[in-house]
Structure 1
Amino acid sequence: MGNKNLLTMIPVLKESITLRQNRDNKEIYQVCVPRTNLLERFSIKFLKQPTHHSIRLDQLGSFVIGMCDGQHPVEELEKKVEDAFGQSASPVRERLLTFLSILEANGWIEWRES
């Protein structure tokens, strides 16, 4: 991302990634990631495997990924996480930035400037 201030950047969930709410707890999401490489497409077609990977998040991860809608810069996300989870999310900034880094490394989010 170069020399940009990460706190002012806005994380946006990529269009290919979908979120599915948990049946028992509507605040918990499953992230559905399409399986697109050649080997995965082969296993889907011939071995009848699922078309998506499903990753279940905890409450904090679900809260953050649900806010990756192109409306909230990282600094605002940090405040909202702190308000919603208090001390149980400490240290908020480090955990938030680590989680967003993981999302970016997996190709689930992209960044926009605020």
Structure 2
Amino acid sequence: MKENEIKNQKDDNFLLYIPIKKHEEWEIRGNKVYLIFHHNKPVERFMRWLVKKPSVSDIELDKIGSKTWQLIDGNRTVHEIGQELLNAFGESCEPVYERLIMFLRYLNRKGWIYYKKSQ
């Protein structure tokens, strides 16, 4: 590898990215976060009518997922969120960064968050 290719890999550390919420509707019930979804697109309305589903649904996040969602504020990096999770849950959330990165990638694939590089 060339020297600047190695430098680019070091500069592109995922732990330095800042996750930002795109999904705006959520609430806290008890100690858990619930993501709220409205099904009002034409196809979704038809499917709701077909299978008798409600127009609003939610997804309950577990305690670590709920804490992670609350820590995503547009300022904290992935590394800082991991440190906060370690402070809050200790060894019960180990391996913290592997779990955190997997969860954040899931949220990103669903279109509920996106990333920006930290300065």
Give the TM-score normalised by the residue count of structure 2.
0.78
Q: Name the structure 1 match of 2:13.
A: 5
Instruction: Report the AA paired with residue 91 of structure 2.
Output: Q
Q: Which runs of 4+ in 1 moved over 2 A?
A: 33-38, 41-44, 46-53
Question: Aligned-pair distance for 1:105?
Answer: 0.9
> What per-residue deviation string (whole Å, max 9, x for no partner) do you get for residues 39-60 of structure 1?
114346x577544330001110
C-alpha contact 1:12 1:112 (8 A) present in aligned 2: yes
Corresponding position: 1:30 with 2:42: no
Kindly report which structure 2 residues correspond to 1:1-114, keeping only aligned pairs within 5 A, or say none.
Answer: 4-14=12-22, 16-22=23-29, 25=30, 27-35=31-39, 37-43=41-47, 49-114=53-118
Paired residues in the alignment total 107
C-alpha contact 1:30 1:56 (8 A) present in aligned 2: yes
SS of residue in 1 equivalent to 2:84 = helix
Larger gyration radius, structure 1 or structure 2: 2
Instruction: Give the number of the structure whose residues are more often helix, by fraction.
Output: 2
The answer for unaligned runs of 5 or more in structure 1 is: none
The answer for unaligned runs of 5 or more in structure 2 is: 1-8
SS of residue in 2 equivalent to 1:11 = strand
RMSD of aligned Cα (Å): 2.0
> What per-residue deviation string (whole Å, max 9, x for no partner) do you get for residues 44-96 of structure 1?
6x577544330001110000011112011001001000110001101101110
Question: Aligned-pair distance for 1:113?
Answer: 1.7
1: CA distance, partners of 2:91 / 2:102: 17
C-alpha contact 1:17 1:33 (8 A) present in aligned 2: no
1: CA distance, partners of 2:42 / 2:14: 34
